Copies of this chain bind each other. A is one copy, B any other.
Amino acid sequence: MRGMLSDILVVDLTRHLAGPFCTMILSDMGANVIKIEMPPDGDDSRAGGPFIKGEAGYFLSINRGKKGITLDLKTEEGKEILRRLIEKGDVLIESFRPGVMERLGFAYEEVAKMNPCIIYASLTGFGQYGPFREKGAYDVVIQGYGGTISITGNPGGEPVRVGFSIGDIAASLYTTIAVLGALHVRDQTGKGQYLDIAMLDCQVALLENALMRYTIAGEIPQPLGTKHPALAPFQVYQAMDGYFTVCAPHDKQFDALCQVLGIGDVSKENRFASNRLRVENLEELNTILCGIFKQNTRAYWIDVLEKAGVPAGPINNMKEVVDSPQIKAREMIVQVEHPIAGKIRLAGCPIKASLTPCSVQGPPPVLGQDTERVLKLLGYTEDQIAYFRHKKIV
């Protein structure tokens, strides 16, 4: 079956994480993504571990389904090859620092002359304008600038970074949204446009409640461990044999929780009579709850709470995630056969669509594996390709 974007050609000039994660989603949605890498080493993430038969797990995890070509954009011939690709492309995505594409001769204004319908997205740390535009950024720098680290961690404890690279990935997801929104505009009007996405902006866009607590209440939110600032109970608790999650912010759920714990009277106490009061008096409430939860196992509590309609669950590690029957049923771990690394397992695509399903289009590319095929499609002869190889342009 055709994918959602089977008619779309993406010229992918991105490296590291944020851009490739975006073009991986577009590929899962069926787009033909041509990933362009600088010879001789390609994307820096090809040096990121863990390694399997010399192949980098970092790269493998975010580049499946793309075609891979090498191209030295500093040469005239390399630029001409990119021009031909742009003429055929629907979307161009790049993640160089501001000014680099301009210096290469591929600023949006130039690219729009080559192909006025193209959607051109730039994904950077701080965006194309503003006093910080020249600054370099990586995930942890953005998690710091964007406020994420200030609200993640234990109260008074050491700083904590979100364990996956949300500084990058938030920008990947918003860039995907921006490109698809622009595609709808193009479908209606035939017009392309320029999209400027900053990792920092995307981080700020996720702050919801924490930002509101400052702008409305003048409070500077602090890390809360696993607690929620506006809902209670809503956190991780400790059972006899380890941690588990419990959420009962609604009165009905809280009643059910108290019944299960054999403390039906507690849910009738004034100090716990509403979510708002439970948030205010959480310390007192937790003195009661923690004492009881310690008396039995995680599995016991999760079972009885779920049966009572109280959302609860385990703290899964990666093995438990991979082994989860739900994650299996949803095909959220997919296997691809890589020509060098062999069978590898990756996270699947979470978009389950009835008419145009998403699917992994193939393994991550070996460096330059599709160079010849793509150059031939662009009209180059074998002799020309041999010349490009000789001159190390591809």
Contact = CB atoms under 8 A, between A and B. Distances in A.
Contacts of A219: 50
B207 A57 contact: no
Interface centre among A138, A171, A220 (most CB of B within 10 A): A138
A39 interface: no
A178 B351 CA distance: 6
A181 interface: yes
B195 A351 contact: yes
Nearest to A229: B49
A217 B50 contact: yes
Interface string A129-147: 1111001111111011111
A228 B50 CA distance: 12
Contacts of A143: 245
A347 B141 contact: no
Contacts of A21: 208
A120 to B, nearest CB: 9
A221 B137 CA distance: 25
Interface string A182-219: 11110110011111111011101111111111111101
Interface centre among A205, A243, A274 (most CB of B within 10 A): A205
B188 A187 contact: yes
Interface residues of A, number: 161
A148 B130 contact: no
Interface stretch (A75-83, A257-265, A304-312): A304-312
Contact of A279 (B49, B330, B346): B49
Contacts of A104: none
A157 B159 contact: no
A184 B185 contact: no
A184 B184 contact: yes
Contacts of A275: 47-48
A379 interface: no
A46 to B, nearest CB: 12
B61 A209 contact: yes
A217 B57 contact: yes
Given A49-B230, A158-B225, A184-B184, A318 B208 contact: no
Interface stretch (A287-295, A321-329, A369-377, A385-393): A321-329
B313 A144 contact: yes
B163 A311 contact: no
Given A148-B163, A154-B158, A276-B49, A131 B57 contact: no
A95 to B, nearest CB: 14
A315 B350 CA distance: 32
A137 B57 contact: no
Given A136-B311, A207-B318, A144 B184 contact: no
A310 B231 CA distance: 40
Interface centre among A150, A166, A216 (most CB of B within 10 A): A216
A225 to B, nearest CB: 6
A268 interface: no
A5 B181 contact: yes
A153 interface: yes
Contacts of A211: 61, 318, 321-322, 346-347
Interface string A352-369: 111110000000000000
A282 interface: no
21 contacts: A5-B181, A48-B209, A48-B275, A49-B230, A108-B354, A125-B311, A129-B330, A131-B325, A136-B311, A150-B315, A152-B161, A160-B223, A164-B209, A166-B166, A169-B208, A170-B173, A192-B355, A194-B353, A194-B355, A204-B321, A216-B341
